[in-house]
Amino acid sequence: MTLPRLAARLIPVLLMAVLAGCALPVPPTEPAPLPPISPEVQAKAERAVDQLVSVARRMEPVIETECRARSRGRNCNYRLVVDDRVDLPPNAFQTEDLRGRPVIGVTLAMIAEVHSADELAFVLGHEAAHHIAGHISSRERDAQEGAQILAKMVRAQGADPRTVAEARKAGAEMGSRLFAKDYELEADRLGTIITWDAGYDPLKGAAFFRRLPDPEETVLGTHPANALRLDVVAKTVAELRAGTITGSGGLLK
């Protein structure tokens, strides 16, 4: 009997932790809140909202076309929201509302940080790609499988109900993270296609990766190295230029 893909990756991680005499991983603590951004940055962000609206209008039909081409029965009516709290760091995210409508959110600081319309377009394309690829449901499924696997393992060792519950929580956190880097790279590739089809330059759009600090390289990290992400974008652009892939489903010619 073959192990599910998540079990095959999760069990070696657990064995490494046991051999190293480490405790089970637990969710990281929330970072300390950052100080409010300056009035100058806030003003810059507010001016940049006009650029966001312009880019979003141009990206929206391309995003929705790609969504319909790649998915069946999925809500492709995107909603863009701006979190106007000035104390939040630069960030963009994708989620769904209670009706399953995809939501792309950006903070004011994120809008202020981008250096061009190409960068803003790439951010929107990347976040839209997470919904198109079904990454939210994939991570939820990974979390459920991780919880079941770890709970079963500790239960087999005679653990009490409280320990089993704690193992289930830790397993869910581990499971949700094991494929997070893969999902980010998938979103980078599809986001590149969407950005290209909307008439923006994905290579210029991904330039902000060079300004970001590299994420810590850990097994359970959620984001790949910036150099790897830039490489995915460059290779995808090369394929687009060569005509070996296209938008609206990224079909091979």
212-237: average pLDDT: 88
Report pLDDT for 42. 64
The whole-angstrom separation of Cα 59 and Cα 195 is 8
**pLDDT band for position 1 (cuts 50, 70, 90):** very low
Report pLDDT for 151. 94
Domain boundaries, the chain: 39-136+179-242
Which tens digits make up the pLDDT trace of 157-171? Answer: 999 999 999 999 999
Q: Per mean pLDDT, which range of 14-23, 25-34, 40-49, 241-250 is the poorest?
A: 14-23
Which tens digits make up the pLDDT trace of 32-84? Answer: 565 666 777 666 656 677 888 899 999 999 999 999 998 888 899 999 998 88
Residue pair 129/186 in contact by the 8 Å Cβ criterion: yes
**pLDDT band for position 31 (cuts 50, 70, 90):** low
Helices (H) and strands (E) in the chain, counts: 9, 3
The whole-angstrom separation of Cα 12 and Cα 23 is 15
Report pLDDT for 108. 83
Residue pair 71/130 in contact by the 8 Å Cβ criterion: no
**pLDDT band for position 245 (cuts 50, 70, 90):** confident
Indicate the length of the chain as a whole number. 253
Report pLDDT for 23. 43
